[in-house]
Chains A and B, each alone.
Chain A
Amino acid sequence: MTDTKTPLLDINDLHVHFETNSDKDVHAVRGIHMHIEKGETVAVVGESGSGKSQVMMSAMGLLADNGWVEGSVKYNGAEILGLSKRKLNSYRGSKMTMIFQEPMTSLDPLYTIGRQICEPLRVHQKMDKKRAMARALELLELVGIPEPKKRLKSYPHEMSGGQRQRVMIAMALANDPDLLIADEPTTALDVTIQAQILQLLADLQKKLGMAILFITHDLNIVRRFADRVYVMKTGEVVEEGNTAEIFDNPSHDYTRMLLSAEPEGTKEAPDTGAPVLLEGKGVNVTFNITSGLFGSQTHTLRAVNNVDIRLHQGQTIGIVGESGSGKSTLGRALLRLTDISGEVLLDGVDMSEIAGDAMREQRKRLQLVFQDPFGSLSPRMMVGQIITEGLLVHHPELSAKERDLRAIEALEEVQLDPSMRNRYPHEFSGGQRQRIAIARAMVLKPRIVVLDEPTSALDRSVQKQIVDLLRDLQEKNNLSYLFISHDLTVVRAMSDYVMVMKQGVIVEEGLTEQIFDAPTELYTKQLMAAAFDLEPISA
């Protein structure tokens, strides 16, 4: 593979700075060296804020306006950093191309797929319209889009996320590039789709022989696809080498931390005699989607379809499913935060018969933690107030001072510095905010907590800490969790019982090891294969 002396892409002493509002420059990339040979697959790994995307953005001339770059990036020996836009355009889109994390917004919503694939062809190869269209059709076939002829005339909003990412790949491959840069290409997609897209990239590379550079936070992808790895942390490359070497024998602490960051361990099922706290019988949630001027047209969406569930004291039930499976809606339904049909029993009492103040009283026993640590904290309240808001409702007798003490206790419980209680949510990192959200749930001493994707927006290493924290809290307070997630690794570490959900229906349920080791349903098998082996399994 390395038969020539000049690498395909050679990055030397690259620095990227950003100018920010607060007059402080952010030094996002601090003098890194990287090289990519023809036809090889390289991965750049790092957590958010490591600067891994900015390296390639600067090579492609796509840095934001407030950023600037120093150093050297050579393509086949020719310097491309600091080239004029016009000269740079003879490289990007033809020799080097890029696909992005956001398939939903990366295509222009106003033009057809066909036209957008044709554009780079017509610009770089000066093809006429007819030939470009023929080539676009070929490309859509290549990336495995069904009914490609019809799809040429489709607009992006008429396609799913996975299909859009395929279109992006088709566009990127239009001019037979030597290098394809894939910036977190599968992060926004469901696991089964992820596996398909990754397989597609691997197949295409075999067929076309271009070099691929993966920018990713996902070590599974690295392990399976990359020849070589660069590990980045706060703007620097801390370790590089062959994939196998790095995985077997990491030399840098950070790499070791990353590799061990996968949540581990399992949870014991509670005693069979543990009482049932929460029980759902035949739970249905339907949404009426109204359209038309006076809501004249309605169609009904069954988000949760006839679900039975029993949550014992001390148990964690993992609810697994892809986006749109109705798993979050089920969680909210069980807390009676949406209208449902069917029965939900709390300690054997039908919740629909508890009304008004009595229901409010019950609320403190049922708490909720959300996925988005940015959206779930009221931005204009201090952390202390956020945590103790529930006390205002349930313990109005407490003085401000006593509430403050409770806030301190709660913050200590989630291992945050209690002196930060007068700070505001925007002053905290994602992981810290999630701890605050957990503290808010815990301050009322609940018995049941619904955890709705609590770790999905976090980096792996932070995920692990949150998982550990949640497990500690459960043990200490004998809590019952309903753990909703699409992330099978975390579910395996957290729960003792798993329910797999698809399109509102529970397709399979059972003890964790049973589901993970011996799934019976095809859908569950597909999920497992996609998540752990990155292999798409066709039906």
Chain B
Amino acid sequence: MNSKTPKTKAGQAAEKLVEAQVGRSLWDDAWARLKANRAAMTSFVVLFFIALACFFGPFFTGHQYDTVYRNYVKVPASLAAYPRDDEIAPALEKVLKRARLTAENIKIADKEVIVQATSKRAINEKAVRYFDRSDLFKNAAFSGFSDDKKSVTITAKIDRIHFYFGTDANGRDLLTRTLIAGRISLIIGLLASGVALLIGVTYGSLSGYFGGRVDLIMMRVVDVLYSLPFIFFVILLVVFFGRNFILMFIAVGAVEWLDMARIVRGQTLSIKRQEYVLAAEAMGVGAGGILRRHIIPNTLGPVVIFVTLLVPKVILLESFLSFLGLGVQEPMTSWGVLISEGARNLQGASWMLIFPSIFLTATLFALNFIGDGLRDALDPKDR
């Protein structure tokens, strides 16, 4: 703000121009206070890394969020790679059985397996696909066919893959899914808050600025909307918009604007009565100038605070809807969906609950701390 009086003036050296000292605006003060708030600054860092991980992480996990590993359903979180050594032999036998081959001689090395296999019938080259279908092996190749094609040497690489957060009940990598889910949750949070901000600020400032009868009617509408059960709205919106999440969360934003409208209206009403507004009116400043220079900059503080606190609220709401099964649809996912799945698989697969919960709560925590920090910084009581 306040960049209108350029500081480069000093260089121009007009004869009467006195170099201006640099003032400390209330924003500068607030920023200094915020920087001193350790919880808020830590939260910024945490949030930054969560956002970074969610937006870029999925490119580096080595898994797609919707890839199903049938051999790795509900495997626990682990830093070590899968498959485990003792899983290789049984898995191999299963594959051979499917391919109707009998193993004669199995050699399991660190990175590959070599199998001598026989069959009662001639072995088709295509049988190699049974290996590729398994999640444990890749690049299987047949070599050294016997003349009757009834015996063959198969070499296949062992596909060592990592599931740092384990897998879900369908055998999908939970790390990738958690990050993808975070992407959805964060986008939704920002999107819906943006919509709420837009509607709320416009509605509230108009209502407050015009006042009188207009204000009365506009606020009565808000009151009526308030008294409707909120969940009722959301469910109707789900029904209306289907499960298109972007549309849906524009709609959620359209519901969440009520508080924003009230806050902005209250602010506008009180600022309108301030003497500096009266002074501007006495100078002949029009409605536009008063809104732009006096009212909006002074409502900005509470609005910023409210938006920071609205984002976690919306994320929570989305998670809640997803938890009820009303949110985003498979195979797309969000933290709420993952937590709901985790809750259902509580016994035996607790990692499915724990990891998404950590991400969700860390994000909500960070946003709340930032919001609280902003409030303390922008609105210090003992000023």
Question: What residues of chain A have their CB less than 8 Å away from a CB belonging to chain B?
Answer: 21, 294-295, 332, 335, 337, 359-361, 363-364, 366-368, 370, 372, 375-386, 389-390, 392-394, 400-401, 404-405, 408, 418-424, 426-427, 437, 440, 444
Contacts and interface: CB of A to CB of B under 8 A. Distances in A.
23 contacts: A294-B216, A360-B284, A360-B286, A363-B284, A368-B279, A368-B282, A379-B298, A380-B1, A380-B297, A381-B297, A383-B23, A389-B283, A389-B289, A389-B293, A390-B283, A390-B285, A401-B14, A419-B19, A422-B7, A423-B23, A423-B24, A426-B26, A427-B23
Contacts of A380: 1-2, 25-27, 297-298
B4 interface: yes
Contacts of A420: 20-21, 23
A170 B196 CA distance: 54
Contact of A393 (B276, B285, B380): B285
Given A385-B4, A392-B289, A421 B20 contact: yes
Contact of A376 (B19, B276, B285, B383): B276
B149 interface: no
9 A-B pairs closest in CB distance: A363-B284, A423-B23, A376-B275, A390-B283, A360-B284, A422-B20, A378-B276, A368-B282, A380-B297
Contact of B279 (A370, A400, A419, A424): A370
B133 interface: no
B38 interface: no
A394 B283 CA distance: 9
Nearest to A376: B275
B279 A437 contact: yes
Contacts of B21: 419-420, 422-423
B22 interface: yes
Contacts of B78: none
B228 interface: no
B227 interface: no
A254 B41 CA distance: 48
A473 to B, nearest CB: 17
Given A393-B283, A408-B17, A440-B279, A382 B2 contact: yes
A370 B284 contact: no
B282 A335 contact: yes
A384 B20 contact: yes
B24 A367 contact: no
A393 B274 CA distance: 20
A393 B289 contact: yes
Contacts of A377: 276
A427 B24 CA distance: 8
Interface residues of B, number: 43
A364 B7 CA distance: 29
Interface in B293-350: 293-294, 297-298
Given A379-B26, A382-B23, A422-B20, A404 B284 contact: no
Contact of A408 (B18, B23, B25, B383): B18
A422 B24 CA distance: 9
A405 B281 contact: no
Given A337-B282, A375-B274, A390-B284, A400 B26 contact: no
A390 B380 CA distance: 31
B273 to A, nearest CB: 9
B124 interface: no
Contacts of A384: 5, 20
Contact of A363 (B6, B33, B282): B282
Contacts of A426: 26, 383
B280 interface: yes
Nearest to B1: A380
Nearest to B298: A380
Q: Which of B5, B274, B280, B294 has the most CB of A within 10 A?
A: B5
B9 interface: yes
B110 interface: no
B382 interface: yes
A426 B17 CA distance: 24
Nearest to A450: B282
A385 B14 contact: no
B16 interface: yes
Contacts of A401: 9, 12, 14
B89 interface: no
B283 A363 contact: yes
Contact of B278 (A368, A405, A423): A368
A404 B9 contact: yes
A426 B25 CA distance: 8
Given A337-B281, A422-B22, A382 B276 contact: no
A378 B25 CA distance: 11
B293 A381 contact: yes
Contacts of A419: 18-21
A375 B5 contact: no
Nearest to B32: A22
A389 B290 CA distance: 10
Interface in B145-175: none
Contacts of B16: 405, 408
Nearest to A20: B382
Interface in B249-292: 274-276, 278-286, 289
A345 B100 CA distance: 109
A437 B280 CA distance: 11
Contacts of B12: 401
Contact of B5 (A363, A366, A382): A382
Contacts of B33: 21
A359 B284 CA distance: 8
Contacts of B285: 389-390, 392-393
B284 A422 contact: no
Contacts of A421: 5, 20
Contacts of B293: 378, 381, 385, 389
Interface string B201-232: 00000000000000010000000000000000
Nearest to B21: A419
Contact of A364 (B2, B17, B284, B297): B284
B5 A404 contact: yes
Contact of B298 (A359, A378, A392): A378
